[in-house]
């Protein structure tokens, strides 16, 4: 890690859920040359502004954690925003990194890149083998484009320019710093917010989208940050044994999944909501299952440390702290 400690590192999206955790993790390792910019300071969708920034700053490494993200409701209602903004952010950051001489990038994708119908454990090789889940197809297409841009730059300029651009595909990430909007957030923060406010209001019933039968895999954000730094710094000879030029992304997940119904009851227990939970089958379920095969990242030594119950407790505590501040 000595090279990492001396590197000049840009974290795009440092105020976001994963970006903020990556920053904390790098700082805990002694990395003191970390550069960040808020959205107000640098609009990553603005090509000219991004080009000027990278030309002036000259980074060694870039973690691309900036993205427009949201749950199934947000993806359904704002598909144009999701595909346009994410494509612009990715294209600008990745290509301007290349033009300015950045040697290493870690691009953060999403498990939604994989086809809607798949085997119980999703291998990296499943990419582009079938149709995407319609509810988040625009977001998924943007993320696939980011993977392929990194791959294509490696294939065309890897040897001549010494670049090494990598991609990591996480399962559902959750934890402190998440978006707790009851509709536009992802499932865990949305459930926490909804159940907490229902408890305070003495509501006897809450509704959850879908049948509750669909299963999802959840990875605590600090575990994800550790995975990101690990994948960024795996020596190339070791990494090359697990990837191919046109299949270079690495899955990162907890290794277990849970049904949304089981998750809802677990969140209710932790939050202290004692009312009834009904599942609205008129709302979309999304894919029936999305558990990633994580055998590749395990080769590098990655093992999640925070189980779901403990992660939910920490996430709810952070939600309460945020409420008190607001």
Active-site positions? 139
Start-end of H helices in the chain: 2-6, 17-28, 47-57, 72-77, 79-99, 137-161, 187-200, 221-233, 236-239, 260-271, 295-299, 308-325
Cα–Cα distance, 131 to 133 (Å, whole number): 7
Contact (Cβ atoms closer than 8 angstroms) between residue 144 and residue 174? no
Q: Are 181 and 190 in contact (CB under 8 A)?
A: yes
Selection from 235, 222, 256 nearest residue 299 by Cα: 235
Which sign does the torsion angle of CA 275, 280, 283, 288 carry? positive
Residue 17 CA to residue 24 CA, distance in Å, equals: 11
244, 176 Cβ separation under 8 angstroms: no
Contact between residue 111 and residue 136 where contact means Cβ atoms under 8 Å apart: no
Pull the structure tokens for residue 213: 């039968």
133: which DSSP letter? Answer: P
How far, in Å, CA of 65 to CA of 56, rounded? Answer: 21
Residues 323, 240: Cα–Cα separation, whole Å? 46
Q: CA of 23: how far to CAs of 9, 33, 170, 185, in Å? A: 10, 11, 17, 22
């Amino acid at each position: 890690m000595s090279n990492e400690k001396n590197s000049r590192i840009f974290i795009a999206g440092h105020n976001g859920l994963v970006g903020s955790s990556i920053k904390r993790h790098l700082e805990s390792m002694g990395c003191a040359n970390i550069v960040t910019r808020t959205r107000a300071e640098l609009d990553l969708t603005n090509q000219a502004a991004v080009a000027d920034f990278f030309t002036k700053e000259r980074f060694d490494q870039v973690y691309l954690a900036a993205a427009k993200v949201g749950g199934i409701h947000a993806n359904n209602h704002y598909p144009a925003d999701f595909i346009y903004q994410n494509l612009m952010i990715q294209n600008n950051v990745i290509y301007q990194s290349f033009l300015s001489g950045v040697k290493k990038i870690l691009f953060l994708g999403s498990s939604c890149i994989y086809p809607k119908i798949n085997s119980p454990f999703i291998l990296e090789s499943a990419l582009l083998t079938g149709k995407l889940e319609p509810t988040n197809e625009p977001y998924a297409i943007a993320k696939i484009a980011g993977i392929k841009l990194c791959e294509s730059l490696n294939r065309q300029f890897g040897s001549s320019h010494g670049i090494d651009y990598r991609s990591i595909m996480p399962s559902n990430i959750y934890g402190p710093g998440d978006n707790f909007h009851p509709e536009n957030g992802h499932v865990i923060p949305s459930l926490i917010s909804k159940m907490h406010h229902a408890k305070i209001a003495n509501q006897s019933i809450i509704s959850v989208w879908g049948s509750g039968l669909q299963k999802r895999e959840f990875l605590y954000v600090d575990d994800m940050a550790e995975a990101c730094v690990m994948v960024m710094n795996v020596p190339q000879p070791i990494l090359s044994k697990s990837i191919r030029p046109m299949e270079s992304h690495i899955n990162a997940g907890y290794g277990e999944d849970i049904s949304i119904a089981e998750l809802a009851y677990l969140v209710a227990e932790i939050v202290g909501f004692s009312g009834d939970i009904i599942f609205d089958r008129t709302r979309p379920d999304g894919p029936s299952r999305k558990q990633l095969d994580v055998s590749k990242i395990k080769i590098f030594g990655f093992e999640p440390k925070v189980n779901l119950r403990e992660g939910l407790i920490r996430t709810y505590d952070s939600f309460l702290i945020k409420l008190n501040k607001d």
